[in-house]
Amino acid sequence: MLNTFVVYVENKSGALARVALLFRRRGYNIESLTVGRTEKPDVSRMTITVEADADQARRIEANIYKLVNVLLVENVSAVPVITRDLAMIKVAAPQEVRSQVLELASVFRARVVDVALSSITIEITGAEDKIDGLLDVLRPFGVLEMVRTGIVAMRRGARTSEPNNEQTPDFIVE
């Protein structure tokens, strides 16, 4: 089962390396990893997706909590979340097929971010299956290059987090 962990860490050098090392030591392959700043300048948020059963997921969560600089860990796999992925796809698009590529991008609500003589670069944001669908229809034209950000996840609704302890960290907005 695919598990998504949201991890808040102090925005300090080495935090990402410690988390990644934990997964390597335990033999888990990280399917997706995104890291970025939060509304608090001294806190970063990691979204980590990993294949693990329920027991393994509990152990992963407990082990992440033990790391230096970790403020909060939450497995959001079983709660309502909004997930997004961003991809930029460079497609071979000579003049004779350019309109077809542009039409496909429009169908998937993707944006054209660069046009060259023989290629078009498309940006798409959405669920993984939406991006995979666009990739599937663009492959016959020739995908020259592609980059994806990885999954970011956020709880739905007003509640932002449910800490496991009684004390809510000061960076969590209720």
CATH number at residue 73: 3.30.70.260
Residue 65 has pLDDT above 70, yes or no: yes
pTM of the model as a whole: 0.82
Number of domains in the chain: 2
Q: Rounded to the nearest 5°, which phi and psi values hold at 123? A: -110, 130
Domain that holds residue 18: 2-79
pLDDT score recorded for residue 158: 78
State whether 74 and 7 are in the same domain. yes
The CB-side HSE value for 125 (13 A sphere, CA atoms) comes to 7
State whether 124 and 138 are in the same domain. yes
- Summary mean pLDDT of the chain: 91
Average pLDDT over residues 28-47: 95
If phi > 0 it is left, if psi is from -120 to 50 it is alpha, else beta; for residue 34 that is: beta
State whether 16 and 65 are in the same domain. yes
Residue 140 has pLDDT above 60, yes or no: yes
Within-domain flag for 94: yes
Q: Which helix (H) or strand (E) holds 10?
A: strand 2-10
Average pLDDT over residues 54-82: 95
Residue 41 has pLDDT above 70, yes or no: yes
Question: 168 burial class (0-12, 13-18, 19+ CB within 10 angstroms)?
Answer: middle
Q: How far apart are CA 150 and CA 2, in angstroms?
A: 14
pLDDT score recorded for residue 160: 65
Q: At which of 79, 112, 143 does a domain end?
A: 79
Q: At which of 62, 79, 96 does a domain end?
A: 79
- 71-120 residue pLDDT tens: 999 999 999 999 999 999 999 999 999 999 999 999 999 999 999 999 99
> Among 45, 49, 126, 135, which residue's Cα sits nearest to residue 86?
126
Within-domain flag for 162: no
Q: How far apart are CA 158 and CA 156, in angstroms?
A: 7
Tell me which DSSP letter residue 166 carries. Answer: S
State whether 14 and 63 are in the same domain. yes
State whether 42 and 73 are in the same domain. yes
Within-domain flag for 38: yes
Burial 20-40 (b: 16+ CB within 10 A, else e): eebbeeeebeeebbbbeeeeb
pLDDT score recorded for residue 23: 95
Residue 59 has pLDDT above 90, yes or no: yes
Average pLDDT over residues 109-134: 97
Within-domain flag for 165: no
pLDDT score recorded for residue 157: 87
State whether 58 and 99 are in the same domain. no
- 142-173 residue pLDDT tens: 999 999 999 999 999 876 664 344 444 555 54
